[in-house]
Amino acid sequence: MQEKADLRTADVDDDLDRGEDRLWRGHARAVIATFCGGVVLLVLFVALLNPFGNLPTGLFGRHVVMDINQRFQYPALIREKNFDSFVLGTSTSRLLDPDQLAAKFGGRFINLAINSGRAWEQAELGKLAVRNVPHPRNVLIGLDYVWCAMDADVDRITERGFPEWMFDDDPYNDVPFMLNFRTVEIAARKLFYHLGFIGPRVPSNGYEVFVPPEADYDAKKAARKIWRGRRRNAKRAPYLANEAERKAWRFPALSWLDTFLGSLPPETNKMLMWMPVHIAGRPPVGTVQLAREEECKLRVAAMAARHKAHDVDFRITSAITKNDKNYWDRLHYRVPIATQIVDELAQAVKTGVDSPKKLWVYSAGPAAGKL
């Protein structure tokens, strides 16, 4: 009798074990199904919202910039081809108004300048723009220290990342990079935009006044930021490099600039403009760094002459760059100064000579009277 009771108990235990196994398998299938369903919904959500404008899908028409990292957003604006002229540069070029540029030089401008843009990143944007608009009317490159960096071929991108996969002509190889929290977040922002809850981060012409409102300008605060760690009116003898030293200096980014200028058709109005950072934003007088910058400028001028491009240098000591009240910090001038710079650039391109007010140096270019 005891043996029969033990067998019945064992059978009950086996039934319970099998029941628990079925229960756990059921839970596991439910969890897996829920996960897979969630992934499918996220994939569909991202595909339909197309947050970067790079997929061959989407519910809506023109691309809307809903992310502040321009590197991931400008490729879509470029592929829409709603421009025939463009600006490349760093944040020191972002306040150049496309509408004002169009009024001065003609065409339809888009501003493709990117925050902390490395030279290689700018070159990649330029190549993509020319692939999509092969005969641009105007190309304006706002030059900064990044084009003269001796390690530009190593320091090609920033911590912001650069989506090389987005710059080729195959949208399908972008898919593996699209399912992540950041992409879903931007897709959600795009949905909220189309529902009317929020506006775009950046207009479709790339122009954004990213500095604080003019009403918030504090001259004393700006001056402190400009001169922090620097001495006013420091006087030193210039650093004089010999010919062998100058020849040994390498500027890797200039080869990319040379190639890019060579890719532009002869009829394109090519403008190189050294951007007017505050004098405290340049290397100090008497340093080898300033000597290298001046050598870099000479090489750019020679390049501009070969390609029949205007080379206008605002990165000098002038009434603009000496005045603290023109700047928010060492690099970023105020909006009225941006307006003045475009006016002055148009005058430089038209006359082909140095500024009568010593605001710019016309280093090279085609025959005057281009406008």
Between 140-144, 206-210, 233-237, 286-290, the lowest mean confidence (pLDDT) is in: 233-237
Domain covering 70-174+204-364, topology: Rossmann fold (3.40.50)
- pLDDT of 192 higher than 80: yes
Between 153-167, 180-194, 206-220, the lowest mean confidence (pLDDT) is in: 180-194
- pLDDT of 12 higher than 60: no
Q: How many helices (H) does the chain have, and how many strands (E)?
A: 10, 6
**Predicted local confidence at residue 4, as pLDDT:** 52
Measure Cα distances from 341 to 50, 207, 227, 252, 294 in Å.
37, 16, 23, 28, 21
Task: Count Cβ atoms below 10 Å from residue 134 Cβ, excluding itself.
Answer: 11
Q: List pLDDT tens digits, range 228-261.
A: 988 787 778 889 889 999 999 999 999 999 999 9
**Predicted local confidence at residue 370, as pLDDT:** 45
The amino acid at residue 333 is Y
Q: Higher confidence at residue 364 or residue 152?
A: 152
The string of DSSP codes covering 269-320 is EEEEEE----GGGSPPTTSHHHHHHHHHHHHHHHHHHHTT-EEEE--SSSTT
Strand partners, 178: none
Distance CA 267, CA 107 (A): 13
CA-based nearest residue to 299, from 332, 344, 242, 250: 250
What percent of the chain is modeled with pLDDT above 70?
88
Q: List pLDDT tens digits, range 31-88.
A: 676 666 656 677 777 778 888 988 887 667 788 888 888 999 999 999 999 999 999 9
Q: Higher confidence at residue 112 or residue 370?
A: 112
**Predicted local confidence at residue 321, as pLDDT:** 98
- Contact between residue 77 and residue 133 where contact means Cβ atoms under 8 Å apart: no
Give 6's pLDDT tier (boundaries 50, 70, 90).
low
- pLDDT of 3 higher than 80: no
Average pLDDT, the chain: 89
Backbone angles phi, psi at 275, to 5 degrees: -75, 145
Backbone angles phi, psi at 72, to 5 degrees: -90, -10
**Predicted local confidence at residue 39, as pLDDT:** 60
Give 7's pLDDT tier (boundaries 50, 70, 90).
very low
Give me 126's structure tokens: 């330029």
